[in-house]
Structure formats: C-alpha cells, structure tokens
Amino acid sequence: MSRLGRVAVLALLAALAAEGALRLLLGNLGVAQLYLEAPGDGRCVGLRPGTAVVDTGALLAHDPTPMDVNRLGFRGPEVAEARAPGLLRVAVLGDSFTYGMGVGHEQAIPARLQAHLRAAGQAVEVLNFGMPGVDLPNLAPQYRLFARRWRPDLVLYLVEGGDLHLHRDGALRSVCEVAALPAWARRAMQGSYLARLPLFAWILWTQDAAGRDDPERQARVAQWEEGVERLRHAVEADGARLAVYATAGLPRLRDGDVGAALDRSGLPWGRVDEGLEGHRLLRDGHYDAAGCDLVARRLQGLLPAFGQGAAP
C-alpha cells in the first residue's frame, strides 16, 4: 500500500473512532426530525405532523426522552378547531421551554397548566404551540398562520432570553435559518455526529449572552418590543388577549430594559422562572417535570389578574 493509501486508511479509522466516541458523548439530535420545512401555510417551518422520536439531546447526551407532534401539527392531544360552548381555550406560544424539551407532553408547562386549571373547576383547554428553537420573529407567524385557527380566548407568550438574540452577530438564530440549510447539510448533521461538530462549535461561540452594556442590546430590545406589538395586534384582532411571562434566561427583568418595554406595552406580564435552578436538567438546561409543574402553578396564580369573561 502506498504512503498516501496508508494515510487515507489511518484518517478513516481515526474518523470512525471519533464518530464512535462522539456517539457516547453527544445526543442524537432527535429534535431535528420534528421540523417540517415550508409546511404550506406560509410559515417557513412547522412541526411535522404525526412525528414521534426519542431524543437523547441536541448537544450533550441525556436520558432518552420521547418527543412527539400530533397529527394536527402541535404537541399534546389532538384538539379540533371547533369547540364546545362555554369551553375556554388558551394557546401557549414559545420555544423549547414551552414545547417541553426533556419531558413528555403530559409533563410540559401547557399540559400542567391545563391540569391545574381544571382541578380548580375551570372548563378550559390549554394548547401547546411551542416549537424548539423558535424566536419572536418566527413566533408571530406561528400564531397568525397556524395557532389562531383554534380561536383561543387567551394567548400566552412564554419568553426566554434567546428570543432577544443576545449573542454575537452571525449566529444561527432561528429554526428558519436551520431549515434553510442545504438538504445535504441537514442530512449529514442528522446522520453523522462528527459532521455536527462545526455547527456545535459555532453555536457555542455565537450564543454568548451580551451584558447590559452591550452596545447592540438596546436595538435588539427595541426590535423585540416591535415584535411583541405585532403579535399583540394579531391576537387582539381575533378578539383574544395576550400576556407575556418570562420562563428563563432574563435575569433582572423587573428593573431592566425588557421589563420597561413590557410596562410600556400595557400587557399583563411577569416572571415565573425565579428559584428554578434546582430543576434544570443536567446537560440540557431545560426544566425537569417538577420544574414545569412549578412554572404552571405560578402561571395559574397569575391568570386571574387579567381574567375577563372569555379569559380564565
């Protein structure tokens, strides 16, 4: 065998060894199988109807967790668009914290909120329209082009720090940008753990939360504020109400610029994320089942503050 041939064989063996080691360390990126590019309703990406996968992590491996999408395209039991008279309906929008990464659909925040509201005697359905990786610019179409079909009385936007894009320029900032990657690149990342390393390195470098002195933070918060206002107009045009609650990643919200923006909006808002560090999933950062339940209980306690007629 020539020297070049030996080098090629050694390189192949090294790559196979690295792939095997990474499969022990990294998760299977099961979440990537949930996405449906251009679902046909005007959104750039949605959740793939009727999908059920077992996820072991988008980065570091964790215990296997079922992830699912019902045949209508959202998480949880299938609920017809038409509803019985007198039944209230809440739509919950957000990212992976809303969807319930790391827990089953019955343990996610929307499902636990429904359980607590029903236990209190309220006839209500709470629908989970969370999508892992979604940010506010793509969340508004998630309501306007999809979730509004279920005609909710109340829309909850569960905001997480990543929604404000507090990271360096150039980051893959939304699921739409990931979905826009060439098909071969997405297949390579799903099939090969080694092929994911450049993407993971880029994400870790770019998702560097900026400090309060970040010169671009003010512009980002202003853009986010405009996005909330667009979402509000869409929700109120349907006769529903919008409320915003911080689930993670927004320290010092009450006295900060994000809180000031929400004060200006006049929307009901608050924090439901304080004191939950002990409920973070190891190697993942999302909330465990007990953490999701605690967030749901806190939400339940806040909902009556804006309950009027059609809203719980």
Residue 311's pLDDT is 40
Radius of gyration of the chain (CA): 21
Distances, alpha carbon 123 to alpha carbons 85, 90, 115, 242, 272, in Å:
10, 11, 10, 19, 23
Domain 77-306 bears CATH identifier 3.40.50.1110: yes
Three-class SS of 149-208: HHCCCEEEEEEEHHHHCCCCCCCCCCHHHHHCCCHHHHHHHHHCHHHHHHHHHHHHHHCC
Report the alpha-carbon distance of residue 287 to residue 63 in Å, rounded.
Answer: 14
Report the alpha-carbon distance of residue 105 to residue 110 in Å, rounded.
Answer: 9
What would the pLDDT profile of 214-235 be if each residue is shown by its tens digit? 566 677 778 888 889 999 999 9
Domain ranges of the chain: 77-306
Helix (H, G, I), strand (E, B) or coil at 83: coil
Is residue 276 within 8 A of residue 270, CB to CB? The reply is no
Report the alpha-carbon distance of residue 94 to residue 131 in Å, rounded.
Answer: 6
Residue 146's pLDDT is 96
pLDDT of the chain, 312 residues: tens digit per residue: 677 777 777 777 777 787 777 777 777 777 878 888 888 999 888 999 999 998 887 677 777 888 999 999 999 999 999 988 889 999 999 988 999 988 899 999 999 999 999 999 999 999 999 998 887 777 888 999 999 999 999 999 998 876 765 444 333 345 666 666 676 776 766 667 777 677 666 655 555 444 445 566 677 778 888 889 999 999 999 999 999 998 876 655 555 777 888 888 889 988 888 887 778 775 667 888 999 999 999 999 888 544 444 444
